[in-house]
Copies of this chain bind each other. A is one copy, B any other.
Amino acid sequence: MDKYIYAFGSGTAEGDGTMKDTLGGKGAGLAEMSRAGVPVPPGFTIATQVCNLYFENGNTTPPAIQEEMERQLTKLEETMGQKLGDTDNPLLVSVRSGAKFSMPGMMDTILNLGLNDETTKVLANKSGNPRFAYDCYRRFIQMFGNVVLAIDKDDFEHLLEDLKKQRKAKLDTDLTVEDLKLLTQQFKGVVQQKTGKDFPQNARQQLDMARDAVFRSWHNPRARHYRRMNEIADDLGTGVNVQTMVFGNLGDTSATGVGFTRNPATGEKVFYGEFLINAQGEDVVAGIRTPRPISELQELMPEAFDELRKITTNLENHYRDVQDFEFTIQDRKLYMLQTRNGKRTGPAAVRIAVEMVEEGLISKQEAVLRVDPAQLDQLLHPVLEAKSKASLNRLTVGLPASPGASVGRIVFTADEAVKQAARAPVVLVRAETTPDDIHGMEVARGILTSRGGMTSHAAVVARGMGTPCVAGAGEINVDTRAKRLQCRTTTLKDGDWISLDGSTGDVFEGQAATIDPDPSGSHLASFMSWVDEFRTVGVRTNAEVPRDAKTARKFGAEGIGLCRTEHMFFAGERIEHMRAMILADNETDRRKALEKLLPMQRKDFRDLFEVMDGYPVIIRTLDPPLHEFLPKREDLMVEIAAMKASNESRGIKAREELLVRVEELHEFNPMLGHRGCRLGITFPEITEMQAQAIFEAAVQCAREGIRVIPEIMIPLVGNVRELENQKRIVVETADKVFTQAGMKVDYMVGTMIEVPRSALTADQIAREAEFFSIGTNDLTQTTFGFSRDDSGGFIQEYQKRNIIDQDPFAVIDRDGVGSLIKTALRKGRETRPDLEIGICGEHGGDPKSVEFCVHAGLDYVSASPYRVPIAKLAAAQAAISRGKEELMRTA
């Protein structure tokens, strides 16, 4: 016969820590602790499989299992010398869910089960503390009523509040025994009224009902949603842990507390925690009484403290990770209620991992797997101080577009940002940013936009600069002309203080305090060196200015995966030449303007090559639609209309002529319009100028002894003939430059894979392309038909409504975009087995996406400078997990 119920406690257990599938995480932990001799209140775990049987059996627990539980319960009662419902020595238990994977707060817990009118009296007598007994009872009725009988919590809370008001009691603890007795009567009344039945007095029946309610909680909407979000299978089921109650509130020789074996904020190896004398677990976190630091326990109860120290140290050694534990001392006797691997901050995660390797506790490989890549952000950016944050008014939550905290005075234009930044830190607030705003973004401490998604202009540029950014905060209405923003009922004007958390998307009114990242980087340096040991794919960076490239090199980037040349055309007088080029209506004039840009571009590339000495630099030819470089159409229209209405004729003709060209370039859907290689094909002289600048810079560098590895990338190719056309221009230009220079430089010509057609015809495209770079931003846009600039609103709605789990602009969509990437790889390498393939979308800095890239077989990922360490760590973890999988397959 199958075994479905496993006892634990008293220094032994039927299960063990490896049995998470059967016992759930909590059950396995209790079994493991029991086996290790840790004092755990005895009990038993009902296996997760029973949860499925329960549903298959028409929402009832099968009789055979019912019998098995009967036997286990009897054994437990014998161990404890107590009996459930006994009027002499009643057994009280807790009933808790526990699935294979931790689902914090998702399912329900019932404490003090076994209390009824009679046993409560017994508890009152035996403890000599009637207040304690009735407080337990009323809590039990409420929990049972809510979890098992599905009665609204408020129906109980509301009675408690009324009574407190009547008694003018501030705290629950101000109520008397009589008050609590009254309350239990009232609570039972609520149960009667809501269910039509009396509150069950039979303790055995209470247990069955509670167990089944835990099973049912597996399918509550909260839990289902959590599983969907975390990709946990629906058929795993939850275990049920039935455990003897122990009480930390039996007087001054009792206590309860929580702790960590190391400091979870800093990682320092110190015993860390807090406790309360004469209290129950929930009191420690409720914040009504101030808990005391755990070191004080040593004086008060030295034996219990020493035992706790010893046990938790053993547990850390046993689990080989920081332990987050809960304990209760009942009448000087220590019980461990729970232990689990502790959550920790980024800096702590790195320090703990490194120190545990030094202590010989874990291997380097394990250390690398111990740090969540996203946590590294905390080592690179300042964060908002928690207390200061709590004291401010949270205005709204936008998208966490670029991590880190930022505090500053509001400005509404880039020019204003530049003007004010000298005097005080500024936060630039825009409906959306455009390349015109770059100078303001450069000086701002933070950027806030009301529109746009994770890959909007603001987000991409901010991440590149390492500037915190909250994007797409849709509740904010920005009125640039009036210099104010409105968010629901709050209005802020320029000069007001605002605080952003770019890691969470939170926006606060006022000036928060910030904490700078730990400047001592020795732990990080060791950690990253191990990361590099295990990593199998390259990590490059997306950068166009030497400053960003240098930052990325500092973080260990192995080349530039994407240099967006258009970003080079916005600054200073360049935009003027660029405009002249666009406004030219013939090739000659266009070439004249391009000639002016040539030396500037050459210098741009020269500087990048210098920083990237010895590493490849992928340079993408001009990509965005040309009208991005011109004034906005509607601005011009409005200006002209206003001039006309006020009979102002000076300058109107020039504006009207400009508008004609702007109208010509106007597009309904610029994302799908005249951009990318389509520009280079219709205006070959642009590609020619860029190629000339690249090769002249390369030759110049090579002469100076810099090792240059240029890779010229043609964007938005969907058809091999587009690439043929542009490649010919590049190759011809290279030949010309090399002939003039009397020397050659090795280079490659490749393409972006960023529209579905290029992935679908990658075999054809690879005939011409010497490398592929997957542009996952645009590929996501076209595969879904989502504009990254416009989808912010409905993607949030989609997430709320459970239609998508993750923003596909943040995490690669494996079924759609991922399948196209795999097609591109397969077909591309069919034609050209040594094809270099990387990814340069924003996904290159996202851990889950990097994992996909490693598994799919890409050669490198490219991320914005501040994401390089994250990408490296994610890549190393994916390589390790892949290695393990392969080991399993070949074993």
Measured CB to CB, the residues of A under 8 A from B are: 633-634, 637-639, 641-646, 667-674, 676, 678, 681-682, 716, 718-719, 721-722, 725, 754-757, 760-761, 764, 778, 781-787, 789-791, 793-794, 797-798, 801-804, 813, 815-817, 819-820
Contact = CB atoms under 8 A, between A and B. Distances in A.
Contacts of A784: 718, 755, 757
A797 B722 CA distance: 12
Contacts of A756: 756, 782-783, 816, 820
Nearest to A786: B672
Contact of A671 (B639, B669, B804, B820): B669
Contact of A760 (B634, B783, B791): B783
B761 A816 contact: yes
Nearest to A717: B785
Contacts of A801: 681, 725
Contacts of A793: 674
A678 B787 contact: no
A670 B789 CA distance: 10
A804 B721 contact: yes
A722 B642 CA distance: 45
B816 A718 contact: yes
Which 3 A-B residue pairings sit nearest by Cβ, starting from the closest? A672-B787, A645-B645, A757-B816
A798 B670 CA distance: 18
Nearest to A643: B645
Contact of A681 (B670, B798, B820): B798
Given A638-B637, A645-B641, A721-B802, A820 B670 contact: no
Contacts of A672: 669, 671-672, 781, 785-787, 790-791
Given A637-B634, A760-B816, A778 B785 contact: yes
A856 to B, nearest CB: 15
B760 A668 contact: no
A646 B757 CA distance: 52
A820 B823 CA distance: 12
A867 to B, nearest CB: 25
Given A667-B789, A718-B785, 8 more contacts: A646-B646, A669-B670, A669-B787, A671-B672, A718-B783, A719-B804, A756-B816, A778-B785
B815 A785 contact: no
A798 B667 CA distance: 18
Contact of A782 (B642, B725, B782): B782
A719 B785 CA distance: 11
Nearest to A725: B803
A785 B793 CA distance: 22
A825 to B, nearest CB: 15
A639 to B, nearest CB: 8
Contacts of A820: 756, 760
A816 B765 CA distance: 12
Which of A670, A760, A804 is the most central at the interface, judged by chain B CB atoms within 10 Å of its CB? A760
23 contacts: A634-B637, A634-B638, A639-B641, A641-B642, A643-B645, A668-B671, A668-B789, A669-B672, A669-B789, A670-B790, A673-B787, A674-B790, A674-B794, A681-B797, A754-B785, A755-B784, A755-B785, A756-B820, A757-B813, A757-B815, A760-B783, A778-B785, A782-B782
A833 to B, nearest CB: 22
Contacts of A764: 815
Contact of A645 (B642, B718, B804): B642
A644 B789 CA distance: 31
B816 A682 contact: no
A754 B637 CA distance: 35
A796 to B, nearest CB: 10
A719 B802 CA distance: 11
Given A668-B671, A671-B668, A794-B674, A783 B757 contact: yes
Contacts of A637: 634, 637-638
Residue with the highest number of chain B CB atoms closer than 10 Å, among A638, A669, A682: A669
Contacts of A634: 633-634, 637-638
Contacts of A646: 645-646
A672 B455 CA distance: 15
B819 A787 contact: no
B757 A790 contact: no
A757 to B, nearest CB: 4
A641 B802 CA distance: 43
A692 to B, nearest CB: 21
A817 B760 CA distance: 9
Contacts of A676: 785
A317 to B, nearest CB: 46
A761 B667 CA distance: 31
B755 A667 contact: no
Contacts of A674: 790-791, 793-794
A456 to B, nearest CB: 10
A760 to B, nearest CB: 5
Contacts of A754: 785
Nearest to A456: B668
Contacts of A786: 672
A761 B820 CA distance: 11
Contacts of A819: 760
Contacts of A722: 803
A671 B667 CA distance: 11
Nearest to A785: B755
A645 B817 CA distance: 50
A791 B673 contact: yes
A783 B784 CA distance: 10
Contacts of A781: 672
Nearest to A646: B645
A813 B479 CA distance: 46
A676 B786 CA distance: 11
Contacts of A760: 783, 815-816, 819-820
Contacts of A670: 668-669, 790
A638 B718 CA distance: 38
A540 to B, nearest CB: 24
A781, A785, A790 pick with most chain B CB within 10 angstroms: A785
B790 A673 contact: yes
A226 to B, nearest CB: 17
A654 to B, nearest CB: 18
A765 to B, nearest CB: 11
Contacts of A645: 641-646
A673 B719 CA distance: 25
A608 to B, nearest CB: 28
Nearest to A672: B787
A633 B635 CA distance: 11
Given A646-B646, A668-B670, A671-B668, A681 B791 contact: no
A794 B815 CA distance: 32
Given A672-B672, A785-B782, A681 B803 contact: yes
A797 B681 CA distance: 9
A670 B781 CA distance: 12
Nearest to A761: B815
Nearest to A632: B634
Contacts of A681: 794, 797-798, 801, 803
A249 to B, nearest CB: 48
A633 to B, nearest CB: 7
Contacts of A673: 787, 790-791
A597 B787 CA distance: 30
Given A637-B638, A642-B642, A646-B646, A794 B669 contact: no
Contacts of A798: 681
A823 to B, nearest CB: 9
A651 to B, nearest CB: 15
Contacts of A787: 667-669, 671-673
A697 to B, nearest CB: 29
Contacts of A816: 718, 756-757, 760-761
A787 B804 CA distance: 26
